[in-house]
Amino acid sequence: MGVAVRDLEGRCALVTGAGSGIGRASALLLAARGARVGVLARSARDIHAVVAEIEAAEGEALPLVADVSDEAAMREAVERFMARFGRLDIVVANAGINGVWAPIDDLKPDEWDRTIAVNLRGTYLTLHLAIPHLKAAGGGSVVVVSSINGTRTFSTAGATAYAASKAAQLAMVQQLALELGRHRIRVNAVCPGLIATDIADSTIKRNQDLARVPVTWPEGDIPITGGKPGRAEDVAATIAFLASDAAAHITGSPVFIDGGQGLLR
């Protein structure tokens, strides 16, 4: 990856949703910067591919198969992580889904529940199980992957469950930044805009036009890239910064990584 700095040597990181997209890019970059990485996702095939890539670059990684909304599976995954690495310094709570985007009177209760379960309960379980180990290590860094949706923009038609989960994640970050500061644990959020990942492939869109407010955006609605989406690596670079000592005095902060997209909306 062309990364020379090894400022995370000796540290151990857990990355959820690490089989693809932002999670994959983050796991690869943290490993390249010297961290030993727990690569967690639901797909065994995806995480083994990421682990193989890390190991090919002479890094150290552990594949962990779990659904972040499943307490038993997450508890077992964290226990396996600790048995292998013995400490935990960095947590990247990235796992999430877009879920179903539909008008509120069309959105089914089970569709709402699934989005909240993965995005919000999953974040809760990740931190609930990880924080005791960060405390034991004498501190550390947590980075939650939120979104501009629900925090800066509200223009994605029908994305009520998604936006609510992302707003709640940011509230958790700011609450926990204060609560955990005495333990030298920093808690921050990254809020990406449109990023070139495969998350959109699993998004279910239904009757969005019934919830959409018509508006015409300026041509190229991501100003800094002329309308092109950002890269997962752009988000990973910020995550690695927040995980490092270079961000030692930053906590409770959202970092918007959207190329200015949210300012238009």
Question: What amino acid positions are annotated as catalytic residues?
Answer: 162
pLDDT at res. 129: 98
CB 192 within 8 Å of CB 230: yes
Which residue ranges make up each domain of the chain?
A: 12-264
CB 185 within 8 Å of CB 249: no
pLDDT at res. 97: 95
Cα(3)–Cα(6) distance, rounded to whole angstroms? 8
CB atoms within 10 A of CB 2: 4
pLDDT at res. 155: 84
Residues of the chain whose pLDDT is less than 70? 1-4, 198-203, 205, 208, 210-213, 215-220, 265
Two tokens, residue 74: 């997450």
pLDDT tens readout for residues 52-65: 999 999 999 999 99
- For 100-158, the three-class secondary structure string (H helix, E strand, C coil) is EECCCCCCCHHHHHHHHHHHHHHHHHHHHHHHHHHHHCCCEEEEEECCCECCCECCCCC
Which of 3.40.640.10, 3.10.580.10, 3.40.50.720, 3.30.1330.10 would CATH assign to domain 12-264? 3.40.50.720
pLDDT at res. 180: 98
